[in-house]
A and B are shown apart, each in its own frame.
Chain A
Amino acid sequence: MKRLKILIIILLPISFVNGQVSYSISNYLRYGNGDRSFGNFKGNFKYFENLTDMKIFLPYNITIGGRLLYDNPPEVGLTYKGLKRRFIEYSGDELYIRAGNFSELYGRGLALNLFESRGLGFDSWMDGINLNYRKENFSFSAIAGVLEYKDSIEIKRNEDYKIYGGNFEIDPIDNFKIGLTYIYSEADFDLIPVDRKIKVNLPSLNLSINEDNFSFLFDYAYKSMSNFNDNNKSYGYGIYSSISYNTEGFGVTLDYKNYRFDLRDPFERNDITRTTRFLPFQNAPIVLKEHSYTLLTRAIHEVDFNDELGLQVEIFYTPSETTTINFNSSIASRHGNYLFDQNSFSFSRLEFINVLPSLSKKYSPYYELFGEVEQSLNEKTIVKVAAALRSKILSDEFFSGTNNHEISSIIFPFQLKHVFSDPYSAEFDYQYESVKDNFNAEQTEYSNHLFGLINVIDTKINVTFRYEFSTNRFDVSGKRYWSAIELGYRLNQNLSAAVSYGKEKGGQICSNGVCRYILPFEGLRISILGII
């Protein structure tokens, strides 16, 4: 703090004379007061979050910044009150240095991807030094610092990492890039009854080719971990690759994952305190579609980065100025299946697949088919129709697959947007989902229906109604009907506010011109966003 003050005292008079200081501030306040319920449990829940991000741009390309956070408690995550982030950085033509908190991404994130998602209560930003040096055909980056990781759901996961690493990328020829990454980490897992200390080595290689119509990417990371306490060792690796062909009006991308950072039997797999798994500073591509329809953002497949194979194809096609078509298909499964020996109370691995995912039930497969057509009927009316088919099987390896959890669903979203007379417009949404779930108590089939109406009265005011019902008598919320109203108001270009009241089932919703993921909640919510 003292050093920061000294720096500011030195720079301030110079900047003042030259008028070269500029700033940027954003403030995001969110408040909620209501109830949350899970089955028969229902409890009052209030949240209050105020996040202020500020940056001061000083002369000589120096920026200082910080985040004041008042999460008491937040809607998702852990309570925090105080200065959450602070940094000072120099950003020149070729050199970038930052001291303080930072995020970083090497390749596609198999070895290092530090990021924050407040909606998930996840934060893997580091505190330390980040240096980048770029020339025309190569770049170098180095990081050193600490990551204090606290899992907001699995509260046993309280882990401190010291991380050192670097990345070197070079373009030896036009449109071709090769990159090498090396990460070394020592970690302290604060577990009861004993702490565990580990060290991890994570080298990684990535290649990319970017021609006009064609692009290819390959990323490989190898992880070796050893335990200081008992010298146990663990090895694993991950591969991600994508290939795409794009031309005017058409684009197709195929991507592939083979994540086997920590293949474990079902006993060990469910041990959330194990030190051998994929680490919080690694975050690889999911190779699944990220949807924007509310019903498709619920009950999504949870990717297991320790043990998963997968493929995805996505096609975008615009046959005419008024029509857009999108198709996506993805498939994922585990690498192996296990046999449980009831006498020794242990698992042995039976079969194993190395390269491509399988739809066989014993590999816990997941697949999704999705298609969407958007059609402009005229200058004022747009219709969107989509269909999705999903299936997820969780293999029961304790009883040789006789008690698998099987869930499948068919979802039909429909959207109609119409501009009545400038500036009044309306959007009507209907989403239907038919679900089969053999673990859903005594009702294995049910349907969900969501209706939404967004009225934009002018660009400053909009009102959204949402109504949803389910025929599921055993929904985890204990409810069958949900309805909410939301009013969005933009005071000016810098300030907007939204107030909602009612019952929300959760998922990604779009209103007031933005989309966000919300959790189930019943009551009043207020959000105010200001940026200057």
Chain B
Amino acid sequence: MKNVIVIFLLLVSISTAQSVSELKIETLNNKKINVKEHYQKGVLLINFWASWCQPCKSELPHLNRIYEKYKNKGFSIIGINQDSPKSVAKVRSFVASQNIKFPIAIDPNFEIFNKFNGQVLPYNLLIDSNGEIVYRHTGYVPGDEKKLEEEIVELLNK
């Protein structure tokens, strides 16, 4: 156990923040997305959400609005749904009804969520044009969307 901790600390001490350069995702519409193509345009937000998560559902309309506002300025969003096989069949219907404009992928065995050490939903990762995660945010309460928008604008203006 001690060996594991020592090796881990050693690695962390020479490390930089997590980057997402090689991540490839398949969307609900069977389109394959390379996240690199999205963050290289400017700024990318990866939003993990689930249909049973009330705060996630409250946040989605705000993300949709932010996406529409900045999508022509180099901003992208990829939504990654975390419904398990228990309820993943309904995700398409939910997404269609909400008129969500940004691409949505499903991650029913939490493979991508685990990759980013996600623990609770909603979980947001803001990625700069170098592919580095510059902002992580868990949970949603009213007002969070304003803070997030400020971060996006700041990154877009860099």
Contacts and interface: CB of A to CB of B under 8 A. Distances in A.
Contact of B16 (A22, A26, A291, A494): A22
A476 interface: no
A462 B120 CA distance: 17
A63 to B, nearest CB: 8
A253 B8 contact: no
Interface in B103-138: 108-111, 114-122, 135-138
B139 A513 contact: yes
B87 A290 contact: yes
Interface string B125-158: 0000000000111111111101100000000000
A240 to B, nearest CB: 9
A286 B89 CA distance: 11
Nearest to B50: A290
Nearest to A57: B18
B95 interface: yes
A531 B95 contact: no
Contacts of A53: 114, 117, 119
A207 to B, nearest CB: 14
Given A19-B16, A22-B15, A56-B15, A290 B92 contact: no
Contacts of A516: 120
A298 to B, nearest CB: 15
Contacts of A16: 14
Contact of B138 (A66, A314, A513): A513
A458 B143 contact: yes
B69 interface: no
Interface stretch (B39-47, B52-60, B72-80): B52-60
B55 A514 contact: yes
A529 B119 contact: yes
A291 B18 contact: no
Contacts of A283: 85
Q: Interface majority SS on A: helix, strand, loop or mixed?
A: strand
B52 A57 contact: no
B143 A459 contact: yes
Interface string A74-88: 000000001100100
Interface residues of A, number: 90
A113 B142 contact: no
B134 to A, nearest CB: 10
Contact of A103 (B29, B89, B111, B117): B111
Given A19-B16, A53-B117, A292 B22 contact: no
A346 interface: no
Interface in A310-334: 314-318, 324
B97 A423 contact: no
Interface string B13-29: 01111110010100011
Contact of B110 (A8, A91, A115, A317): A115
From A8, A246, A458, A514, residue with most partner B Cβ within 10 Å:
A514
A23 B18 contact: yes
B102 interface: no
A55 B115 contact: yes
User: By CB atoms of chain B within 10 A, which of A21, A494, A531 has the most?
Assistant: A531
A115 B84 contact: yes
B96 A316 contact: yes
B117 A5 contact: no
B53 to A, nearest CB: 5
B143 A494 contact: no
B109 A251 contact: no
Given A92-B22, A244-B92, 4 more contacts: A109-B85, A252-B93, A459-B144, A515-B55
Interface of A: 1, 4-5, 8, 12, 15-16, 19, 21-26, 28, 51, 53-57, 61, 66, 68, 82-83, 86, 91-93, 103-105, 108-109, 113-115, 175, 210, 212, 215, 217, 242, 244, 246-253, 255, 283-286, 289-292, 314-318, 324, 417, 419, 422-423, 425, 456, 458-459, 462, 490, 493-494, 496, 510, 512-516, 529, 531-532
21 contacts: A1-B3, A4-B7, A21-B15, A25-B12, A55-B115, A103-B109, A103-B110, A103-B114, A105-B108, A113-B109, A217-B89, A244-B89, A248-B96, A250-B96, A253-B92, A292-B53, A423-B143, A458-B143, A459-B144, A459-B147, A496-B139
Interface of B: 1, 3-5, 7-8, 10-12, 14-19, 22, 24, 28-30, 51-55, 58, 83-90, 92-99, 108-111, 114-122, 135-144, 146-147
By Cβ-Cβ distance, the 3 closest A-B pairs, closest first, are A251-B93, A513-B139, A316-B97
